[in-house]
Structure 1
Amino acid sequence: MESDIIKLITYGIRFVQAIAGAYAAFKISTYAIGYMTKNQRKIEEAKDGMKNVAIGVVVVAGCEAAVQWLQKGIHF
């Protein structure tokens, strides 16, 4: 019973990681296009956006540590 709950949480976190990774790739590509423009305002927005995406990727990667902790703590 307990291992089923842990597996469900693990799969949920993996699903969120996959969606977040795809969304981060999409946002980085749109910010890269904005960064290549000559408009200074868009360049600044792109820099800020890239920082936010990087922070989001770090948070999502932190979820991997949570998954590893759950898997090692329950021993399955």
Structure 2
Amino acid sequence: MNNDNFDTASILKWGFYFYSQSQESLQKVWHGLMDHDYNLEELVDSEGEWKLMVTKLDTLTPLKLHKRNIAFNELAEF
């Protein structure tokens, strides 16, 4: 990330996407994130598949981002 000029010591706006055939499953994901300072950017039907985009202002090192992605994968599976 540092090689691509990301200042991992600064607060950046991070966007995360979730996809599903079911709007309800994405609403469950959103409800799991809303109390953690995430912002709902969109929850839309995109060509027959639902897309959820959330954002958060955060300082993420490469390791912290990796751990966040693992946690989101687990959240998306429930």
Task: Give the TM-score taking structure 2 as reference length.
Answer: 0.33
Higher helix fraction: Structure 1 or Structure 2?
A: 1
Higher strand fraction: Structure 1 or Structure 2?
A: 2
Task: Give the TM-score taking structure 1 as reference length.
Answer: 0.33
**Between Structure 1 and Structure 2, whose CA radius of gyration is higher?**
1
